[in-house]
Chain A
Amino acid sequence: MSAVIDTHHHDHAHGPAKGLMRWVLTTNHKDIGSMYLWFSFAMFLLGGSMAMVIRAELFQPGLQLVQPEFFNQMTTTHGLIMVFGAVMPAFVGLANWMIPLMIGAPDMALPRMNNFSFWLLPMAFGLLVSTLFMEGGGPNFGWTFYAPLSTTYAPPSVTFFIFAIHLAGISSIMGAINIIATILNLRAPGMTLMKMPLFVWTWLITAFLLIAVMPVLAGVVTMMLMDIHFGTSFFNAAGGGDPVMFQHIFWFFGHPEVYIMILPAFGAVSQIIPAFSRKPLFGYTSMVYATAAIAFLSFIVWAHHMFTVGIPITGELFFMYATMLIAVPTGVKVFNWVSTMFRGALTFEAPMLFAVAFVILFTIGGFSGLMLAIAPADFQYHDTYFVVAHFHYVLVPGAIFGIFASAYYWLPKWTGHMYDETLAKTHFWMSFIGMNLAFFPMHFVGLAGMPRRIPDYNVMFANFNMISSVGAFMFGVTQLLFLFIVIKCIKGGKKAAANPWEGAEGLEWTVPSPAPYHTFSTPPEVK
């Protein structure tokens, strides 16, 4: 046995178990990572089809396809599924797959808990989706579920919604604890904190955000539960509560939440851009500090979502300036990415295309965020399609392009095959054109006053909405191409070398492709 270990072939390790129970019982970080990624992709398609329903209804003014009640359920569940079911689990999946490989760890620190935190998710979203078939329908109060819409005026299924959020929250918290324990305790000898790849750094900070704010979300839905069923009055003015307080507690969670969805994408892009620029990342240390600064600031800006509820002028000023301050560390990051590319030997394979588009389009989303941060101007923008345009620009070409870039970048490592580059580039350009067609016109209709979450609109918005819908359908259909590319890559294709990218660096490229079931059973030496 020892002779085998000495040769570092790890032949002694048993492979995966056979059959369905492999997936139910697995504690292997690669299996669990794959399951997270597949689950999030399924949720992405489900949440995406809801977006298709929304865009089909908004294709023309007037009511054509669905009733307003159902439209409300679509906007709400689209948001909930995309945030909690698609983007967050996708990043946890990437973390599961890549963090142990990047820091030279044999697995996650708490493999059994890892299994549990994944399997809570199908339960949570099964519960959430089932509410759509219940009497009175599913959640229809917007993904932000403001009280009293979500308490006094909620459909009876709201209790299931609350439990679904509880389960998804517990899953995220356990995932975050696991990631922190892995990063802090399982790094290979010599891998100091400031030698960690940026994806690991951004995830460490994200995990701390998660354990800080997911319990607050659990708290606020618990208060809703108590208001609905146990006669308390947290958000009910009749009993001395205050609905505005709901918004404060929700956004105390909600604002860090938006950074939870974007920081891991920052990390992934910071891996990919240097690889395809064939240059080390510009300003590594400032990247780490900028990420930490963004995370800190995210806790003191929440009321910029509430400028119009009637907060005192000093509050408006504080939250306005604090919000604008976030542009500084974010600007540092964008500067560093651009500087990394500057005078680099650039090539534009699919991961790089998505990463470059990420930098450009995320910056557009950041700029519209700065416009929204101006408190007096926000009274005009609040609850219009301008807000919808803003957050889709940071989430679609931000978080989701970050995920696509990561997927293409690491697919050769996961499958052992190269993906079809032509198809992947088609996927990129279709997505790029589709999402810009869908979301850019929303800026204009929003500035002109089209309210969000309404199934009908003034005829003067008709042309822009039709363009948006065409773009959205294009973006939606293209994602089936992505599914095809991934399946094709799993089934076969050009064999991938241990390091298929000329300029990629990091421990994950030192193991063969596909990555063996067990890696780094003996920790690598990091110099």
Chain B
Amino acid sequence: MSETQSNRRLVGKLVLTVFGMFGFGFLMVPLYDVMCDALGINGKTSGTAYQQEVEQIDSSRTLRVQFVATRAEGMSWDFGPEAEQLSLHPGETREMLFLAHNPTDRPMVAQAIPSVSPSIAAAYFHKTECFCFTQQVLQPGESVEMPVRFIVDPAVPAQVKHLTLAYTLFDVSERMPDKLAAAQAQAH
């Protein structure tokens, strides 16, 4: 094999590696989500409703679940839970209402992002229904009550006695032009 040929082959392989690693960088994005989902890292909870039935209620344990509502920068809605906390037994299905109000004079689209801490408990926090699964559209001055229904899995580690479910509400009007246009059409 001549020198030019072997150079060409080697460079071909190396360039392929470079593109492979560029792709790998992007592959880390779904990989990260899968890892977070599987291991409950980072307080991430599932983005879809929990389907399985949890039958056993472990009435020997009582957990405290605290609710926190935060508005992201630039978000003008009023947003908060109906109660600051509640107590439950693992396996019980409970519900909490969050109230949102759009005080502005324009229709807006919002998205709530949940996070559970301690992060070790995130994998055991099942939401059967959540306003965070979809975007919320509010007309000017409109208010809404948004439910979240959840079960804390009886398998939650014994050291977890207190969980915090935190929502951050983002203004996604610009990111969701379709929904915004529909809401504007409705307003007129």
Contacts and interface: CB of A to CB of B under 8 A. Distances in A.
Contact of B3 (A173, A185, A223): A185
Contacts of A9: none
Contacts of B119: 310, 312
A109 B4 CA distance: 9
A248 B36 CA distance: 12
B7 A181 contact: yes
A238 B28 contact: no
Contacts of A185: 3, 6-7, 10
B182 interface: no
Contact of A312 (B7, B10, B41, B171): B41
Nearest to A109: B7
Given A244-B42, A248-B28, A312-B119, 7 more contacts: A181-B14, A185-B3, A215-B22, A234-B29, A240-B113, A245-B28, A245-B29
Contacts of A218: 22, 25
Most chain A CB within 10 A, of B11, B44, B172, B175, is at B11
A238 B25 contact: no
Nearest to B73: A152
Interface of A: 109-110, 173, 176-177, 180-181, 184-186, 211-220, 223, 231, 233-234, 237-240, 242, 244-245, 248-249, 252, 310-313, 315
A180 B14 contact: yes
Contacts of B113: 237-238, 240
B83 interface: no
Contacts of A214: 18, 21
Given A185-B3, A237-B168, A215 B21 contact: yes
Contacts of B3: 185-186
Given A244-B42, A311-B41, A238 B111 contact: yes
Contacts of B14: 176-177, 180-181, 211
A214 B17 CA distance: 11
Given A242-B42, A310-B42, A184 B10 contact: yes
Query: Which 10 A-B residue pairs are closest in the complex by CB-CB distance?
Result: A219-B25, A238-B170, A215-B22, A215-B21, A216-B25, A177-B14, A237-B113, A245-B32, A215-B18, A181-B10
A238 B175 contact: yes
A313 B39 CA distance: 12
B168 A219 contact: no
Contacts of B10: 180-181, 184-185
Contacts of B28: 216, 245, 248-249, 252
Contacts of B29: 223, 234, 245, 249
30 contacts: A110-B11, A177-B14, A177-B15, A177-B18, A180-B10, A185-B7, A185-B10, A211-B17, A212-B17, A215-B19, A215-B22, A216-B21, A216-B25, A216-B28, A219-B22, A220-B25, A231-B175, A233-B175, A234-B29, A238-B111, A238-B171, A242-B42, A242-B44, A244-B42, A248-B32, A249-B25, A311-B42, A312-B41, A312-B119, A312-B120
B80 interface: no
Contacts of B26: 219, 223
A334 B144 CA distance: 67
A242 B36 CA distance: 11
Contacts of B90: none
A215 B25 contact: yes
Given A180-B10, A219-B26, A238-B172, A312 B39 contact: yes
A169 to B, nearest CB: 10
B141 interface: no
A240 B36 CA distance: 13
A150 B168 CA distance: 20
Contacts of A186: 3
A273 to B, nearest CB: 32
Interface in B21-74: 21-26, 28-29, 32, 36, 39-44, 47, 72
